[in-house]
Structure 1
Amino acid sequence: MKARVLFATITGNNEDVADEIIKTFQAKDVEVTKEDISNVDPFDIKPEETDILVVVPYTFDKGSLPDEALDFFEDLSDVDLSGIIFGVAGSGDTFYGKDFAVAVDKFETQLLKTGAIKGATGVHVNLSPNKSTKLQLAQFTEALIASAVK
């Protein structure tokens, strides 16, 4: 089984989120690749090479997507990812209230349009992973693996 974890980060918090997800994949013997989302063209993601796709965007300001992920996000509307299991987890700041980590929700909606299959409920992380969110991220990753095995 092969997974790709695509992340965007400024502060390093989201790379920490990605690393937690990767730890669980590795513990479950899933071959995993970690990539900066700005270096990935969604047209190059193929079901025969990727079983699980995880997107780890941060949310800043009042619900804005990461600048370095905008091209990827927009290109998803023209990509067919049928057969790929996906999940989204990312950081935000609860200070922004209703806009807290909404990039997770926006990416889930966009990925559903590609024909990809949502394999786990998105995880919203306040700033950086703490003990509780590390457990959530492990459960999220295990759910993705279980969805891909079916």
Structure 2
Amino acid sequence: MKAKIVFASMTGNDEDMAEILEEDLQDAGFDVDCSDVSFTDASDYLTSDLCVFITYTYGEGVMTDEIADFYEQLQELDLTGKHFAVMGSGDKTYNEHYCENVFDFEKAFLACGASEAIPPLTIENAPDDDDIARIDQAAEELAGKLNEQ
């Protein structure tokens, strides 16, 4: 199984999440390619079985330019037959905007015809030990879901 992880990270929190997930999926037997959104085209998902997007939400839900560009590219794809997962970090002081971009990408993947493999995983700020355990669990669920096909 091939997995493509694309991450957007301003502070390093989401890059950390991507690296943890990448290692977990490799341990589960996936061929994983992981890259920064600034150096990735959404069409890279077309050659993968599992499409993962990990993002932060800036302020009150505003997508920064590199995230918005990727979002627009993603909306042009047909990902029927692909599975996806979205994850990301946010700051709960922004209340209703907490991790808003994670849910924006969930909707975009669904609109592209991809199947949601697991519910969105959100964390506040940097991943702590509990969050790392949640990422590990998410990887286990992803592997189980995709390997049963």
Same fold at TM > 0.5 = yes
In structure 2, the partner of 1:71 is 69
Structure 2 counterpart of 1:53, from 51, 54, 59: 51
- Rounded to whole Å, the distance in 2 between the matches of 1:76 and 1:5 is 14
- TM-score (normalizing by structure 1): 0.92
From the superposition, tell whether residues 66 and 147 of structure 1 become closer, same or farther in structure 2 (CA, over 3 Å).
Answer: farther
Runs (4 or more) in structure 1 with deviation over 3 Å come to none
The secondary structure found in structure 1 opposite 2:112 is coil
- Rounded to whole Å, the distance in 2 between the matches of 1:88 and 1:71 is 17
- TM-score (normalizing by structure 2): 0.93
- Rounded to whole Å, the distance in 2 between the matches of 1:6 and 1:43 is 11
In structure 2, the partner of 1:84 is 82
- Rounded to whole Å, the distance in 1 between the matches of 2:64 and 2:118 is 22
Tell me if the contact between 1:57 and 1:65 (Cα under 8 Å) persists in the aligned partners: no
Unaligned stretches of 5+ residues in structure 2: none
Structure 1 counterpart of 2:60, from 59, 62, 70: 62
From the superposition, tell whether residues 97 and 69 of structure 1 become closer, same or farther in structure 2 (CA, over 3 Å).
Answer: same
The secondary structure found in structure 2 opposite 1:115 is coil
Give the count of matched residue pairs: 148
- Rounded to whole Å, the distance in 2 between the matches of 1:16 and 1:42 is 21
The secondary structure found in structure 1 opposite 2:85 is strand
The secondary structure found in structure 2 opposite 1:134 is helix
- Rounded to whole Å, the distance in 2 between the matches of 1:111 and 1:7 is 15
Identity %: 32
From the superposition, tell whether residues 44 and 5 of structure 1 become closer, same or farther in structure 2 (CA, over 3 Å).
Answer: closer
In structure 2, the partner of 1:20 is 20
